[in-house]
């Protein structure tokens, strides 16, 4: 943990070299998210030069502040509203982010003294060149300390939606959806899982080493290693001692960062060595390279995406992992393919764009950027993508549809619509070489589902379909 008394203005050495401060860096990230439509991952990548000089302890504080404020933002805002002398909408966004940072330290980071949380927040406000704002921040935070009972959480009996939304810090519309579908108790368990800091989950690259060999190589670089015996190659790194990208085993391509739920999707597709496979929305290649690994680097994989920059990064990742059977292709799935565009494939994976509501524990910014209307919009696009991919599947070939969402409209409803439009496809039962891994996650309806509060991994849905003629 960084020393709590460290000022929040960047320090300069005699050579005027800027020494980054974790709180200032955190504020810059939060402010950037407010004014752009970028994801947290994109902002962190873009602002990486700003944080490169942080020490290991300061980097931990920086990450804790950014992810913590995003996880608990609605609850922090409710505290601000209870103590502010003006409506929260009247507070300038940078000042509101400073208040969120200060309150998060006061209420969730017990190793930081209250005085340090207040003083560093006031210093941050002064960097905004607004003396009144600094006074406002100082007064509000000190009032929270002096009169903690002014803020009260909503009562679950009186208003379950308000109670869950504010207590667990999720949007009201999402609280209402989940309570309606799962009930109050299970919704609270799901929210608790979403707000828990997840371990770093990696996939052992079987092309280069075994899980036991990888675990041994990582013993000095993380405090604890947990091998998941149920899913081949899944390893959790708890409290790593350095960034993953700096680990020699990562540089050597011995593993990739990937959640267990995502790994199950590739195991469900179960491609065989020598087959011709299409990863239709390959993105950065997490599942693509896993497919190559399952195929023992024998056969052919076409990795398709509409964004060239992603394909460039996918090619780099393939080289790092030693997956040589992958070739990339830019394509827009919003448009149907002509007869000569692509060959027919033994297996096709559509890891479709979705609301992402199953991965909120790793992407807390999505809580506040997502809208209820996104769900139906994504579902329509998913059906369209499936329609365009269906002709590319060989007779008796396999098509897997997957999303990192647990919402019914993006799950079974999509498959129901697709099967209605394509009677030559049917849900494929428990038939794969990796059934020992996927079987526990397959329901009676044949669909694969994972959930953070049940399986301690991200929330995924996947359906495996066979083209019967």
Kindly report, residue by residue over 236-284, the tens digit of the pLDDT.
999 999 899 999 999 999 999 999 999 999 999 999 999 999 999 999 9
Query: Which of 217, 238, 257 is the last residue before a domain boundary?
Result: 257
H-type helices in 109-222, by residue range? 114-126, 131-146, 160-168, 172-182, 184-194, 211-218
The torsion of the CA quartet 220, 226, 229, 232, rounded to 10 degrees, works out to -60
- Total domains in the fold of the chain: 4
pLDDT at 11: 42
Shared domain check, 226 and 208: yes
Q: Measure the CA–CA gap between 268 and 439, rounded to whole angstroms.
A: 9
* pLDDT (0 to 100) of residue 433: 52
Residue 303's closest CA among 335, 338, 268, 330? 330
Residue 155 lies in a domain: no
Beta bridge partners of 257: 202
Together in a domain, 83 and 171: no
CA distances from 430 to 267, 422, 446, 455 (A): 12, 21, 7, 20
Would you say 447 and 413 are in contact if contact means Cβ atoms under 8 Å apart? no
Mean pLDDT, the chain, as a whole number?
Answer: 93
Q: Let me know if residue 2 belongs to a domain.
A: no
Give the model's pLDDT for residue 18.
54
Q: What is the pTM of this model?
A: 0.92
Per-residue pLDDT, 342 = 86
Residue 6 counted as domain residue: no
Residues 295 and 386 in one domain: yes
Contacts of 261 (CB under 8 A, 6+ apart): 358, 404, 450, 455, 457, 458, 459, 460
* Mean pLDDT score, 154-170: 97
Residue corresponding to tokens 């997840």: 198
Q: Is the pLDDT of residue 131 over 80?
A: no
> Where do we find the tokens 């669909």?
447
Pure H helices in 36-130: 40-46, 48-51, 56-71, 73-83, 93-108, 114-126
Please tell me the predicted confidence (pLDDT) of residue 403.
98
Q: Which domain holds residue 32?
A: 11-150
DSSP 197: P
**Do the domain assignments include residue 4?**
no
- 176 in the same domain as 91: no
Helix axes 73-83, 160-168, angle to 10 degrees: 100
Residue 55 lies in a domain: yes
- Within this chain, do residues 133 and 78 fall inside the same structural domain, yes or no? yes
Segment among 178-192, 197-211, 331-345 with least mean pLDDT: 331-345
- CATH code of the domain covering residue 251: 3.30.70.1170
188 and 248 assigned to the same domain: no
What mean pLDDT comes out for the span 291-300?
98
What's the Cα-to-Cα distance from 40 to each of 63, 103, 365, 399, rounded to whole Å? 11, 21, 6, 31
CA distance 401 to 411: 9
CA gap 322, 334 in Å, rounded: 31
Are the C-beta atoms of 328 and 304 separated by less than 8 Å?
yes
Give kind and range of the element (H or E) at residue 228.
Answer: strand 222-228
Please compute the mean of the pLDDT values over residues 440-462 and round it to a whole number: 96
Identify whether residues 28 and 73 lie together within a single domain.
yes
Q: Examine the domain organization and report whether 189 and 219 are in the same domain.
A: no
pLDDT higher than threshold 60 for residue 313: yes
Domain membership flag for residue 88: yes
- Catalytic, 242? Answer no
- Which run of H or E residues covers position 267? helix 260-269
Distance from C-alpha of 123 to C-alpha of 98, rounded to nearest angstrom? 10
Please tell me the predicted confidence (pLDDT) of residue 370: 96
| Rounded mean pLDDT, 175-185 | 98
Mean pLDDT across 151-179 = 97
Same-domain pairing of 136 and 228: no
pLDDT of residue 340: 79
The contacts of residue 252 (CB under 8 Å, 6+ apart) are 208
**Taking the CA atoms of the chain, what radius of gyration do you get in angstroms?**
24
Q: Which of 191, 281, 354, 404 is catalytic?
A: 404
Residue 5 domain-assigned? Answer: no
Per-residue pLDDT, 193: 98
Range from 96-110, 122-136, 247-261, 313-327 carrying the lowest mean pLDDT: 122-136
Q: Do 215 and 352 belong to one domain?
A: no
| Average pLDDT of span 318-341 | 94
Question: Are 224 and 111 in the same domain?
Answer: no
- Give the pLDDT band (50/70/90) at residue 7: very low
Say if residue 439's pLDDT is above 80: yes
Is residue 173 situated within a structural domain?
yes
pLDDT of 16 over the 70 cut: no
Taking residues 54-72, report their average pLDDT: 95
Copy the structure tokens of residue 148.
């903690």
In this predicted structure, the answer to whether residue 315 has a pLDDT above a threshold of 80 is: yes
pLDDT band at 14 (very low <50, low <70, confident <90, very high): very low
Percent of the chain predicted with pLDDT > 70:
95
Tell me the average pLDDT across 71-76: 98
Model confidence at 9: pLDDT above 50: no
Same domain, 174 and 277: no
The pLDDT assigned to 15 comes to 42
Q: Which of 52-61, 137-146, 337-346 has the highest mean pLDDT?
A: 137-146
Query: What's the CATH number where 368 sits?
Result: 3.40.50.150
């Amino acid at each position: 943990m960084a020393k709590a008394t460290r000022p929040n203005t960047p320090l300069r050495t005699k050579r005027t070299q800027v020494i980054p401060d974790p709180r200032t860096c955190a504020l810059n990230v939060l402010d950037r998210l407010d004014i752009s439509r970028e994801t947290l991952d994109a902002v962190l990548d873009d602002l990486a030069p700003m944080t490169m000089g942080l020490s290991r302890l300061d980097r931990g504080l920086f990450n804790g502040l950014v992810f913590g404020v995003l996880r608990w933002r609605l609850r922090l805002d409710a505290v601000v509203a209870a103590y502010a002398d003006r409506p929260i909408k009247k507070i300038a966004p940078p000042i509101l982010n400073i208040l969120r940072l200060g309150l998060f330290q006061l209420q969730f980071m017990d190793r930081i003294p209250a005085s340090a949380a207040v003083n560093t927040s006031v210093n941050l406000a002064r960097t905004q060149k607004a003396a009144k704002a600094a006074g406002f921040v100082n007064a509000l935070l000190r009032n929270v300390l002096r009169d903690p009972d002014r803020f009260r959480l909503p009562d679950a009996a009186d208003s379950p939606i308000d109670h869950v939304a504010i207590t667990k810090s999720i949007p009201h519309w999402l609280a209402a959806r989940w309570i309606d579908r799962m009930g109050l108790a299970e919704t609270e368990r799901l929210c608790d899982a979403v707000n828990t800091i997840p371990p770093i989950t990696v996939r052992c690259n079987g092309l280069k080493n075994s899980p036991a060999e990888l675990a041994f190589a990582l013993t000095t670089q993380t405090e604890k290693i947990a091998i998941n015996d149920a899913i081949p190659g899944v390893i959790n790194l708890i409290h790593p001692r350095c960034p993953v990208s700096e680990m020699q085993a990562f540089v050597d391509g011995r593993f990739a960062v990937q959640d267990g739920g995502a790994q199950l999707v590739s195991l469900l597709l179960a491609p065989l060595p020598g087959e011709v496979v299409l990863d239709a929305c390959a993105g950065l290649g997490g599942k693509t390279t896993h497919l190559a690994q399952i195929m023992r680097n024998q056969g052919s994989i076409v990795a398709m995406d509409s964004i060239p920059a992603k394909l460039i990064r996918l090619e780099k990742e393939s080289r790092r992992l030693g997956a040589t059977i992958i070739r990339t292709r830019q394509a827009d799935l919003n448009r149907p393919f002509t007869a000569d565009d692509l060959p027919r494939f033994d297996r096709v994976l559509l890891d479709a764009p979705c609301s992402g509501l199953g991965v909120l524990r790793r992407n807390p910014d999505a809580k506040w950027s997502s809208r209820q209307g996104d769900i139906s919009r994504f579902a329509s696009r998913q059906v369209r993508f499936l329609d365009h991919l269906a002709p590319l599947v060989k007779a008796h070939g396999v098509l897997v549809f997957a999303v990192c969402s647990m919402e019914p409209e993006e799950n079974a409803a999509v498959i129901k619509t697709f099967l209605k439009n394509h009677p030559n496809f049917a849900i494929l039962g428990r038939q794969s070489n990796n059934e020992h891994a996927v079987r526990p996650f397959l329901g009676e309806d044949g669909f694969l589902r994972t959930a953070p509060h049940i399986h301690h991994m991200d929330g995924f849905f996947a359906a495996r379909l066979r083209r019967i003629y």
